[in-house]
Structure 1
């Protein structure tokens, strides 16, 4: 698409309060469509959009999540930026898969934290797990987000632009204080340290996403006992599951995770047997003695 339309699409997404990641994903989806046909997006016809989606689905075998991103980005462009009254955009439906997430046991989480080689890695991974944070939420944390009096963590501009407060465990607070002493940045909790590891004090940007993801992959490679396909986001899934298993109310877990819908939080009920075991015990107590009647 030409620069004018590209800028308009970005402005449209900003007005919708979409995150930077969403803006990049949607822009990439339109660019991929344009590259596929070798013509600007403004010259593409509805039939070409239809054939592109069929090609991605049937020939390329794209997953539902990849298809959803492509569809959402292209639909946004041809609905808001360059409005087109196309039946194809109304016709296409992509099922949202609700497969249970991978969850680590508490012992597995402890193994991962124990394998963290640096204070930075240990503090970051412990914060992500013990506060149930998304990757970018953790990277964006500042020293001002910690309330020592209430022992809470203020998550600003989470998914959907929402703020929330999360209990900050004392052990995590202690790790953060000790790690902060190694860089003493006036704003960022996890500043980019630079190649020499000495730029933390003056850094104005947080650690790179790729560096953190690589850190997690390296640790998992060193722990052959953990057979699960885990990522950094798995720590967040584990946090939610462990809270539910500890008896924390589902509504409270929803609040801590920053979920808009309780239905999203309920997926963690599928990966724990606690509720089933408790229900079975209660039923046995309730129905006890029936065989004596």
Structure 2
């Protein structure tokens, strides 16, 4: 008797999810890619694996005419490139996909005094530790949420980041004061019964699951509001501030690139445009020419 069990064919969506899992794409990236491919399929009116190059070209034109911005259009292009390259093995179609050049906005950066106020305005030791990791080690919110207790290396003063962007691994710095704070949180978490040696550094509502990105974003926004900061602040603002403050302190930009886990140096170089202390310390070549008249001394009040 033939006992072979026939498995149902996988849908395009299931195959795409498998391909994204194989390449360690983050859950947020997977959600965005699926959303953008579904957007194209809705526009197309039939399965996306039946599309032609001309369909892709016309879709981009229609989306631009609909008023979509450059970042959104580029996100769609990334999703479709992944789908046609990896899921249905039609990389030839990606020649019809074009990224849009757009001016990149400068990141919001907090002053050191604002960071101090924000960390002091948190409502619990756990929240203070979460935001301190984002600023003190320059981690993304997704990286903070996926830290495990074992990732804190107190001997080498490092944080092991094993779930970085694109599935990359790296070592982040662990400042001495941050280590003390994490030890205090470890003790409090153990007393509460939510911290375990093989568990998450920042458990969510259930100790077997990590805190989610949205909760970290709410923690950052509430702390900024409580500190009287009117800028739009999220957890990534602390990462931007970490990089900018290091640059202002004279740390080599390539070291900052490694600490942030940036693949390209030009991504890190963006912080040179917001490092105000560094800009103030640059001497203009005009000042070295000595051709302009020196400012006249002001008369004394009694003169």
Specify the TM-score bucket, using the shorter chain as the normaliser.
0.7 to 0.9
Q: Shift of residue 281 of structure 1?
A: 7.3
Residues 111 and 241, structure 2, Cα contact 8 Å, conserved in 1: yes
1:13 equivalent among 13, 20, 26: 20
Report what 2:135 is aligned to. 129
| Structure 2 portions without partners, runs of 5+ | 1-8, 295-303
Q: Tell me the residue number matched to 1:66.
A: 72
Alignment of 1:219 onto 2:223: yes
Q: Post-superposition shift, 1:132?
A: 0.3
Cα separation, partners in 2 of 1:276 and 1:217, compared to 1, 3 Å: closer
How far did residue 50 of structure 1 move?
A: 2.9
In structure 1, list runs of 5 or more residues that go unmatched.
none
**Structure 2 residue 38 is the aligned partner of structure 1 residue 26:** no
Deviation for aligned residue 1:289: 9.4
Structure 2 residue 186 is matched with structure 1 residue 183: no
CA contact (8 A) 1:98 1:267 kept: no
1 or 2, which has the higher helix percentage? 1
Number of aligned positions between the proteins: 280
The verdict on how the C-alpha distance between 1:169 and 1:86 changes in structure 2, with shifts beyond 3 A counting, is closer
**Match in the other structure for 2:247:** 244
1:106 equivalent in alignment to 2:112: yes
Work out whether residues 103 and 241 of structure 1, in 8 Å CA contact, stay in contact via their aligned partners in 2: yes
Change (3 A) 1:178 1:78: same
Q: What does 1:122-161 correspond to in 2, within 5 Å?
A: 122-161=128-167
For residues 85 and 154 of structure 1, the distance between their equivalents in structure 2, rounded to whole angstroms, comes to 35
Aligned residue in 2 for 1:36: 43
**Cα distance, 1:98 vs structure 2:** 2.7
- The verdict on how the C-alpha distance between 1:49 and 1:267 changes in structure 2, with shifts beyond 3 A counting, is same
Which residue matches 2:300? none
Larger radius of gyration: 2
Q: C-alpha separation between the residues in 1 aligned to 2:97 and 2:132? A: 45
SS at match of 1:18: coil
CA distance in 2, matches of 1:93, 1:163: 28
- Secondary structure of 1:280's aligned partner: coil
- 1:262–1:44 CA distance, 2 compared to 1 (3 A): closer
CA–CA separation in structure 2 for the residues paired with 1:90 and 1:43:
15
Aligned to 1:141, the other structure's residue is in SS state coil
Q: Partners in 2 of 1:145 and 1:129 — Cα distance?
A: 17
Which residue of structure 1 aligns with residue 59 of structure 2? 52
Greater shift after overlay, 115-124 or 153-162? 153-162
Aligned-partner Cα distance in 1 for 2:82–2:242: 34
Could you tell me whether the CA contact under 8 Å between 1:75 and 1:89 is conserved in 2?
A: no
Aligned CA-pair RMSD: 2.6
